[in-house]
Chain A
Amino acid sequence: MSPVLRFTDVACWRGGRLLFEGVSFALDEGEALWVRGPNGSGKSSLIRLAAGLLSPAAGSIASGEAALADESLALDREQSLERALRFWARLDDGTVWLEGALQAFELDHLAQVPVRMLSTGQARRARLARVVASGAPLWLLDEPVNGLDERSIGLLGSAIASHRAAGGAVLAASHVPLPGGEWRTLELHA
């Protein structure tokens, strides 16, 4: 069985600076990896490398279908939350999971509210709901607990746990511990 994500001796070069090199790991089904390290150590770049949005300066990355939740919202402000999420779910063939994703983050009562009216925390949950609705086997989460209250962190934990139980994998960058079961860790140094 091949891993969901594999980094082999990956180096990342950004803005004329070597962020990290020699990073190797494999992420199997059901596994979760917590990328930690100080600000500027390249956590977000590692997530973007895994997403294929950046190319590595050296080494190779093998990954399948992935869903990404990063700093940006990427939902049409003028549409209702449900319709904005449905746009992406359609592209992902994930409309069947949309209802469940909204419920998983207790957003179902906000489904008809325009995205621009959502609070910061609600918007943070909305971008996580998009990841759940994608149905992708690999979740890439960049600082997923930022801006979440305690209850929402619990929701994220159960979403991650059920994703892993279903054979999914998670790669998350965070400077605080993450919920959702046991995490392997990968330490990046500044």
Chain B
Amino acid sequence: MIGPLAWREARRAVGAAAWLPVVFFLLVATLIPFAVGPDVRLLARIGAGALWVAALTAALLPIERLMEPDRADGVLDQLALRGASGEEIAVAKILGHWLTFGPLLMLASLPGAALLGLDGDALGRALLTLAIGTPALAALAVAVASLTAGLRGGGALGGLLLLPFAVPLLIFGASAATVGGGQALKLEAATALFILVGAPFVAGAALRALRT
């Protein structure tokens, strides 16, 4: 059941607003030079961190459309009726969401890096950390979307819930993107793995609680 569900998720994202987080990401990356000034060396130094902050804020946008529409429309009920566990639904959603979030974000890092004056090596390191970090961001978004589904103002609350959990990723991801960040890279990968494994269970429990 995970295959068709993940495919549906990706298809819906492409049809809806998969480009929105990307635009948001680029917008934040554009704001940084305006805010700190056009000092190339300073920008190059903070560039990777700025990319990560942009990625984190972009991850907040899709929270609202990940679970709530399917809850309101009875899709989650129909899936449960067909024997899909909350965890299965969550895994499918994470997979489908990442497919339209991670690769697009990494693609947008190319112009983003140019805006921040990152050189080729720095861009390569940033892309590697994003490749490791974006699946965890997608998993966090799905877990938080499940927790806030059915609540009024769930989107805003979702942002408040997601950001603290994403802080370890941000710390290790951003420092792994700097020169000599090998150790941080391992820690980032460990954090991402932990989130990826844990998120489906959190989401699954939240989806079960939603039905009662």
B is a partner of A = yes
- On chain B, the number of residues with a Cβ less than 8 Å from chain A's Cβ atoms is 16
Question: Which residues of A are found within 8 Å of B211, using beta-carbon distances?
Answer: 53-54
Whether the Cβ atoms of B75 and A74 lie closer than 8 Å is yes
Looking at A27-35, A63-71, A181-189, the stretch in contact with chain B turns out to be A63-71
Within 8 A of B (CB), among A58-109: 66-68, 70-76, 78, 87-88, 90-92
Rounded to whole Å, the gap between the CB of A43 and the closest CB of chain B is: 16
Rounded to whole Å, the gap between the CB of B77 and the closest CB of chain A is: 6
Whether the Cβ atoms of B78 and A74 lie closer than 8 Å is yes
Whether the Cβ atoms of A87 and B8 lie closer than 8 Å is yes
A74's partner among B4, B15, B74 (CB-CB below 8 A) is B74
Within 8 Å of chain B (Cβ to Cβ): is A141? no
Q: How far is the CA of A74 from the CA of B72 in the complex (A)?
A: 9
Within 8 Å of chain A (Cβ to Cβ): is B1? yes
Residue of B nearest to A70 (CB): B74
From known contacts A72-B73, A74-B73, A74-B75, infer whether A52 and B4 are also in contact, taking CB-CB under 8 Å: no
- On chain A, the number of residues with a Cβ less than 8 Å from chain B's Cβ atoms is 21
Whether the Cβ atoms of B82 and A91 lie closer than 8 Å is yes
Whether the Cβ atoms of B77 and A52 lie closer than 8 Å is no
Question: Which residues of B are found within 8 Å of A68, using beta-carbon distances?
Answer: 77-78, 81
Question: Which residues of A are found within 8 Å of B212, using beta-carbon distances?
Answer: 54-55
Question: Which residues of B are found within 8 Å of A55, using beta-carbon distances?
Answer: 212
Question: Which residues of A are found within 8 Å of B65, using beta-carbon distances?
Answer: none
Rounded to whole Å, the gap between the CB of B6 and the closest CB of chain A is: 13
Rounded to whole Å, the gap between the CB of A139 and the closest CB of chain B is: 12
Question: Which residues of B are found within 8 Å of A75, using beta-carbon distances?
Answer: 73
Question: Which residues of A are found within 8 Å of B73, using beta-carbon distances?
Answer: 72-75
B77's partner among A74, A87, A90, A91 (CB-CB below 8 A) is A74
Residue of B nearest to A51 (CB): B81
From known contacts A54-B211, A70-B74, A91-B1, infer whether A76 and B8 are also in contact, taking CB-CB under 8 Å: yes
Rounded to whole Å, the gap between the CB of A131 and the closest CB of chain B is: 10
A53's partner among B72, B75, B77 (CB-CB below 8 A) is B77
Question: Which residues of A are found within 8 Å of B74, using beta-carbon distances?
Answer: 70-74
Rounded to whole Å, the gap between the CB of A16 and the closest CB of chain B is: 12
Question: Which residues of B are found within 8 Å of A66, using beta-carbon distances?
Answer: 81
Q: How far is the CA of A90 from the CA of B211 in the complex (A)?
A: 24
Whether the Cβ atoms of A87 and B80 lie closer than 8 Å is no
Residue of A nearest to B72 (CB): A72
Rounded to whole Å, the gap between the CB of A49 and the closest CB of chain B is: 11
Residue of A nearest to B70 (CB): A74
Whether the Cβ atoms of B77 and A72 lie closer than 8 Å is yes
Question: Which residues of B are found within 8 Å of A74, using beta-carbon distances?
Answer: 73-75, 77-78
Mark interface residues in B9-36 (1 if CB within 8 Å of A CB, else 0).
Answer: 0001001000000000000000000000
Q: How far is the CA of A53 from the CA of B210 in the complex (A)?
A: 10
A70's partner among B1, B15, B77, B80 (CB-CB below 8 A) is B77
Residue of A nearest to B1 (CB): A91
Within 8 A of B (CB), among A5-37: none
Which A residues are within 8 Å of any B CB, using their own CB? 51-55, 66-68, 70-76, 78, 87-88, 90-92
Top 7 closest pairs, chain A to chain B, by CB: A72-B74, A74-B74, A74-B78, A74-B75, A78-B15, A51-B81, A74-B73
A-B contacts besides A53-B80, A66-B81, 4 pairs, CB < 8 Å: A53-B77, A67-B81, A70-B74, A70-B77
Give 16 CB contacts A-B under 8 Å: A51-B77, A51-B81, A52-B81, A53-B211, A54-B211, A67-B81, A68-B77, A70-B74, A70-B77, A72-B72, A72-B75, A73-B73, A73-B74, A76-B8, A78-B15, A88-B78
